[in-house]
Chain A
């Protein structure tokens, strides 16, 4: 089945006006576009669309021959692909908050802000390690995204504004990513799991925004929530293009499932 091939390019990644500014900023903050610009995403095959009953299996074997040593990992198809996609984002968030807690902003921050970043760090480490365990159990280690390496050198961890704005962009992006992934999930258990996590990410996003501008409507501001009162639901291609600036380990997302309903 022929599906349109979408070349993801960091420079032209933004598609919706309301999110253009933040995404552009994100990419700028991310600096490097190495991994992001290399993502090629296209639709899945039909047999990826259904995987009922919690039996997820691994991605379809493309090549029976052992992959070369330097093979680029593909996130996979079906629910495993979506879980690996979420795992990649949680790895990024956990790596970011680990760096935050090692930086001069954090060490000099008021106790309330330190406590907030301790919580965010905890939550993202828990999400990350949970996904690793869950995907490994469901699909085997060979189908679990490896530990990624990141380049966060564009972020000034000594500067409160740099830290908070990056945190905001990561959390907002995470919310949009989970919202955009929901309709691609086949198993209700995984959908509920994603739901359990995305609302915590949204609580984070709100708190960070509230910290940046406490006496305001920014916690759910008009820059992120549309006129129908909806948070973004972002396609994986756009999310990976945005987050790719921080990710130095190359991987592909060639087989992620399409939305079930096309909504």
Chain B
């Protein structure tokens, strides 16, 4: 099954109805849900040679994967700032400008590092085939577009944190490990701030994507519920010298971010990449 075909299906769904309340709007986001999740799973495993993933992710290595993710983020923030969806001089606009500056710098850094091996910038579709309208290009309305703009930013940043973490072992013994780690923690700063603007904690509890996040983004959070570190179950097998406040399992999952594989990162990013064919 082609990802493009799946994404085409989204556009025929009534997902973009303007909602009056924030809660309804989030529900609208949520209904994007199952199909995209279904798309995400087979996507990473797809053998279809026409799929976007084959075009942009094969043989790129850890830095190539990083560059594609940075291309995606850089273009997303640039378009967000051009869209007029963010209120002038608002906190969100300031934050997007700062993040945009960092993602542009990351793109430049990685292009320099990769030289002739740098993958070309893919064609991105931040509507994911019509499921979203984050820049209000389709007239979904400023409020809904704003909510989608923030939800997508959270998904991209939390994905970035996990993807860099997953690639770190592949960069051991190279001069790129340290700068990759320096980018990784910047993505985590971004993620924390976007989450806080959305009214969430800056850190991830369990595998919860958080209020208002489309179900399609669940792949970004699956696995974050892990409580075993270095072979030790930190909920059942460790006694703490000072008492933990509140729920121990929640605290343990918050205290450690989990990596994702390159395949998972590709599957998530692939939802927003269109084939040029």
Contacts and interface: CB of A to CB of B under 8 A. Distances in A.
Interface residues of B, number: 64
A130 B255 CA distance: 11
Nearest to A147: B241
B226 to A, nearest CB: 9
B168 A191 contact: yes
B50 to A, nearest CB: 34
B18 interface: no
A120 to B, nearest CB: 9
A130 B232 contact: yes
Looking at chain A's contact residues, the main secondary structure is helix
A228 B234 CA distance: 37
Contacts, number: 210
Interface residues of A, number: 63
A225 to B, nearest CB: 6
Contacts of B178: 179-180, 182-183, 233, 259, 261, 263
Contacts of A263: 175-179
Contacts of B201: 116, 119
Contact of A198 (B108, B169, B184): B184
Interface in B121-163: 161
A108 interface: no
A230 B254 contact: no
A130 B230 CA distance: 9
A229 B165 contact: no
Given A121-B245, A125-B240, A195 B182 contact: no
A231 B165 contact: no
A227 B105 contact: yes
A228 B70 CA distance: 13
Contact of B186 (A98, A116, A193, A220): A220
A118 B259 contact: no
B196 interface: yes
Interface in B79-105: 91, 94-95, 97-99, 101-105
B215 interface: no
Contact of A204 (B104, B168, B202): B202
B242 A200 contact: no
B186 A229 contact: yes
B202 A225 contact: no
A107 interface: no
Contacts of B257: 195-196, 199-200, 203
Interface in B218-266: 229-230, 232, 234, 238-242, 244-246, 251-252, 254-259
Given A200-B254, A231-B185, 15 more contacts: A123-B203, A126-B252, A182-B177, A193-B230, A195-B164, A202-B192, A203-B192, A204-B192, A206-B189, A215-B94, A217-B97, A227-B105, A229-B105, A229-B106, A231-B182
Sorted nearest first, the 3 A-B pairs with minimum C-beta distance are A229-B105, A202-B188, A229-B102
Interface of A: 94, 98, 116, 118-119, 121-123, 125-130, 133-134, 137, 175, 178-180, 182-183, 185, 188-189, 191-193, 195-207, 210, 214-217, 219-221, 225, 227-233, 259-263
19 contacts: A116-B201, A125-B242, A126-B240, A195-B257, A196-B256, A199-B257, A204-B203, A207-B193, A207-B196, A210-B196, A210-B202, A215-B94, A216-B91, A219-B98, A219-B192, A220-B186, A220-B189, A227-B105, A263-B175
